[in-house]
Structure 1
Amino acid sequence: MDLITRFQELVAQMPEILQPLIVALAGAVPFIEGEGAAAIGIIGGLHPAVAITAGAIGNFLCVVVLVTTSSRARSAVVSRRRRAEANRREAAVGVPAEGGTEPDTLEPTAEVDERGKKSARRKKFQNALVRYGVPGVSLLGPLLLPTQFTATMLASSGVSKARVLFWQGLAIAGWSTLIGAVIGGATQAVA
């Protein structure tokens, strides 16, 4: 039995007041996300608007946690690298180095292997980010990757939290509404 079927059965078995919570929990699962959770809720018997809202909220709350964590981790790594570089310069010159500020760019920091080459996935992501920008990657990303992965990669690349959350929220709401409307319409047509 797969996870989606279990969520559908759980929604159907729960009291009506708890069903949106189960749908929201399903929305937090990568590859199910808001749109899959909306479908689970609708098929489980929830009104489409409630299922779409619950699935989108669950997905977005998960993305908020991941973006915040990724952004903090990136800040810690960048600060540590700056301090280490300043210490190396200071040791080499014997004079305290001036600390510069990090430029605010969309240029992602590349993961580097032993040979100094960017990982293939990171390079593909960087190419998509350069080609489509944050809005394009956020809105088109769910076609290829879960929003949790896309949002984490954007935040770890140096894109501001607010910008990532805005575009990811828009993508989650849009895709959840679209898929929920299609599933809701199909269930109405069948009934």
Structure 2
Amino acid sequence: MSNPVSDLILGFQGLVADVPDLVQPLILALAGAVPFIEGEGAAAIGIIGGIPPIVAAIAGAVGNIICVAVVVLATSRVRTAVTTRRGAIEKPPTARREKFEKAYHRYGTPGVSLLGPLLLPTQFTAAALTSTGVPPMRVLAWQAAAIVLWTTVITLIITGVVRAVA
């Protein structure tokens, strides 16, 4: 059986190889917007495909940040609409929400944002933070920092591996 994420990665690798050099960063930005691939995965796809590491990292991170910004803004609007309509009535929290809120109270927005990509795509973490009432600009700032950090780390690792193997 094929893995959907592996299929997506292979699809993006093939697409990057088949388009002109000027279009390749756009393909990586699209890959960066996909949950589970994200900025770091897009950078790895590009580097393995022969794109300069800095170009691959920037394209992947930008695509990931744009997608996260859309998710945060949409989640913020939904939260505002729901809380305005519901007023003061609160539903009991689900077990998943309680787990997230416990992590949030322990690590705060910076910790959840920076450590979140180890467990969940940034889009999911950003939506969860925004839905709990964290201000959207705070979520965006910390998610952007996390995306840049993780994309940089993976870019450095992949670049080192590619140079060692070549």
**Residues 1:145 and 2:120 are matched in the alignment:** yes
Structure 1's consecutive aligned runs of 4 or more residues displaced over 4 angstroms after TM superposition are: none
Partner residue in 2 for 1:101: none
1:42 maps to what in 2?
Answer: 47
Q: Identity, % of aligned pairs?
A: 62
Match of 1:96 in 2: none
Of 146, 154, 157, the match for 1:171:
146
How many residues end up aligned between the 2 structures? Answer: 161
Give, as a single letter, the amino acid of the residue that structure 1 aligns with 2:59: A
Unaligned runs of at least 5 residues, structure 2? none
Structure whose alpha-carbon radius of gyration is higher: 1
1:74 matches 2:76: no
Deviations 1:83-137 (A, max 9, x none): x87xxxxxxxxxxxxxxxxxxxxxxx7xx4xxx4x21211110110000000000
More helix by share: 2
How far did 1:81 drift?
Answer: 2.0
Does structure 1 residue 62 correspond to structure 2 residue 37?
A: no
* Alignment of 1:123 onto 2:89: no
Q: What does residue range 25-40 of structure 1 map to in structure 2 within 5 Å?
A: 25-40=30-45
User: Superposition RMSD on alpha carbons, in Å?
Assistant: 1.4
CA distance in 2 between partners of 1:69 and 1:24 (Å): 20
State the TM-score, normalized to the length of structure 2: 0.93
| Structure 1 residues not aligned, in runs of 5+ | 86-108
Give the alignment's TM-score, normalised by structure 1: 0.81
Task: Say yes or no: does 1:23 pair with 2:28.
Answer: yes
